[in-house]
Structure formats: structure tokens, C-alpha cells
Amino acid sequence: MSTTETIAPPGTWSADPVHSNVSFEIGYAGVNIFRGSFKQFTATLSGDVLEGSAEVASVDVKDDQLNGHLQTPDFFDAQRFPEITFKATELRRLEDGRVEGNGELTIKGASKQIAFEGTIADAPSVDPFGRERLGLRLQSVIDRNEYGVSWNAPNQSGGNYLADDVTLIAELALVRQEG
């Protein structure tokens, strides 16, 4: 049996963008997992409230042409919807270091409730500059079609090139903010 603990020590914790990562994984062509990430994002944990956003224009999939296609209405429609946002409406730390909760994810103007799970460091550590850091990793699986990200193409071997389910991953190195 697990009990619930406070998610993090008191204060405001913000993601260090250099040591954090916000990414996604999706099945591709029925043979492998395709990965991408967002270069520009924010995440803040204050009490048991976690909020974050990612700039669609910063999506990176290691191919400039595909990065451009992801900006179009076929995918994220960056011109009309420049940000993806998330707010945890429920966040629980279990006694074994696991985290679970629920939140609202908004992509292309569509907001849906999602469940997530992950892990959190047992306690903050202090970096060489005297800042307290806390590691938090969250993961959720969504159906991209529910957010209007439905482009696909038939695979000559059967099925479609892109899977419907997308795994979202946030690996956050949170730093306690002064004040």
C-alpha cells in the first residue's frame, strides 16, 4: 500500500532548460519508434501545481524539412497555435518515489484531461553553485487524433506510417527559485 506525500519541498521550482528535456515518441512505419523534442519550453512546480509550455516553432526532429512540415496545419499549425500547454490538476508523490496525477494538455486549441506517471528524486541535491535541484520525470500516452494532429499516409506493407498513440516525456531538472 502506498501513501501520498508532498510532491516537493516548499518553494517554487523551475526547469533548467539546459539539463531538462521535453520530448515525444511515436511508432513509425510499423518498424521503429520516431523521436522528437522541443528546444524551447518552460516548467514550474509550486506546491503541488505543475505548469508548463512548449513553443511549437522549436520542435526538433533532426530534419529541417520535417521540422517545417510539423509547423503546418497537417500537424501542430504553429501559426494559429504557437504553444502547447500543460497544467497538472492533481499531482501525487507516492512513498516509493513514484509520481502520478492528472492534468490538462492543450494542443492546437484542443484541451483534454490526461493521466501521467513518473518518478521524482527522494530529496533535492545541491549543485556546485549552491542551488537546490530536484529531478522529476513524467510520462503520458495520448491519442494525437484527439488534438487534431491526424496527418497520416498509408504504409505499403499495411496500416499507416504513423501510430495514433504518442508518448509524451518531460525529464525536468528543477531548480529552487530564490525569494
N residues, the chain: 179
On whether the CB atoms of residues 85 and 100 are closer than 8 A, the answer is no
Q: How confident is the model at residue 1 (pLDDT cuts 50, 70, 90)?
A: very low
CATH fold of 4-176 reads Lipocalin (2.40.128)
Q: How confident is the model at residue 2 (pLDDT cuts 50, 70, 90)?
A: very low
- Residue 64 is inside which H or E element, if any? helix 64-70
What are the boundaries of each domain within the chain?
4-176
Q: How confident is the model at residue 104 (pLDDT cuts 50, 70, 90)?
A: very high
pLDDT at 3 over 80: no
